[in-house]
Amino acid sequence: MGKTRLGINIDHVATVRNARGENYPSPLKAALLSQKYGADSITIHLREDRRHIIDQDLIEIRKKLKIPLNLEMAPTKQMLKIALKYKPAFVCIVPEKRKEITTEGGLNLKKNSNFLKKIINGLKSKRIRTSLFIEPNLKSVLHAKNLGAECIEIHTGKICNLINKRKKYSKEFKKILNSVNFANDLGIDVHAGHGITFESAKILSKIKGIKEFNIGHFLIGESIFVGIKYCIKKFKKIIK
């Protein structure tokens, strides 16, 4: 098995920029620095309300980045059109609610089956690696397989929250472990993300079948104090 990849989510740089309506700090600069310091991919979430990443960020980053760009997007016709136009290397399909602060849970695969199948096939035909962001349970893994997904990203928000609050997390850990093993048995690549800190990365990286971690909020926040280079190197060391 190859080394575990680290994807860096830079939406939070755009959030800070947008808070003042200025053109800094630059998400492009964050993407290029992350690339320089060892990120394996860059994640951006182009939300329907464009509250952090905007279309111009996508265009610039897509043009200048050498490592793969992972576009997170809601399963909508408009987003599919954008993905097919700019052809990022990777797409991660996520649920989206206007009022949420961040992506609150995994996709409802049952409700969206037909459209998800259409999106997956459309992206596959352009050789865009597509993952579905799901909750850690066997039913969702099987559903993702039946939809033709080659990859899933497991929502780690719950376990990370438990770890942060010093609560028991073994039940949630087991759920993730079982989902990862089941997905690997079905031939699906497994990624993980949401709410990951240095501490939760250490715990989650004990699960061997996770090929990629996507990390943003904590990493960008911590970079204020210790720098993005230090944070990336530390995460890489933890997950390797």
**What's the closest the beta carbon of residue 81 comes to ligand PXP, in angstroms?**
20
Q: What is the identity of the amino acid at 135?
A: E
Catalytic site residue 12?
no
- Please tell me the distance from the alpha carbon of residue 183 to that of residue 178, in angstroms, as a whole number: 8
Question: At its nearest, how many Å lie between ligand PXP and the CB of residue 8?
Answer: 9
Indicate the residue among 65 and 160 with the shorter CB distance to ligand PXP: 160
Task: Give the angle 190-192-194 at the CA atoms, nearest 5°.
Answer: 160
Q: How far is the CB of 131 from ligand PXP (least distance, A)?
A: 8
Helix orientation angle between 11-20 and 27-36, rounded to the nearest 10 degrees: 150
Query: CA–CA separation, 50 vs 188, rounded Å?
Result: 31
For residue 189, give the H/E element and its range.
strand 189-193
Which CB atom, from 4 or from 9, has the smaller least distance to ligand PXP? 9
Residue 41 or 214: the one with the smaller Cβ distance to ligand PXP is 214
Least separation in angstroms between residue 185's CB and ligand PXP is: 23
Q: Annotated catalytic residue: which of 52, 143, 191, 194?
A: 194
Q: Is residue 45 annotated as part of the catalytic site, yes or no? A: yes
222 is catalytic: no
Q: Which is nearer to ligand PXP, 28 or 151 (CB)?
A: 151
Q: Which residues, 6+ apart, have CB-to-CB distance to 31 below 8 Å?
A: 8, 10, 42, 44, 61, 64, 65
> Which parts of this chain interact with ligand PXP (CB under 6 A)?
9, 11, 45, 72, 92, 94, 102-103, 133, 153, 193-196, 214-218
Between CA 5 and CA 171 the distance in angstroms is 26
Residues recognised as catalytic? 45, 72, 194
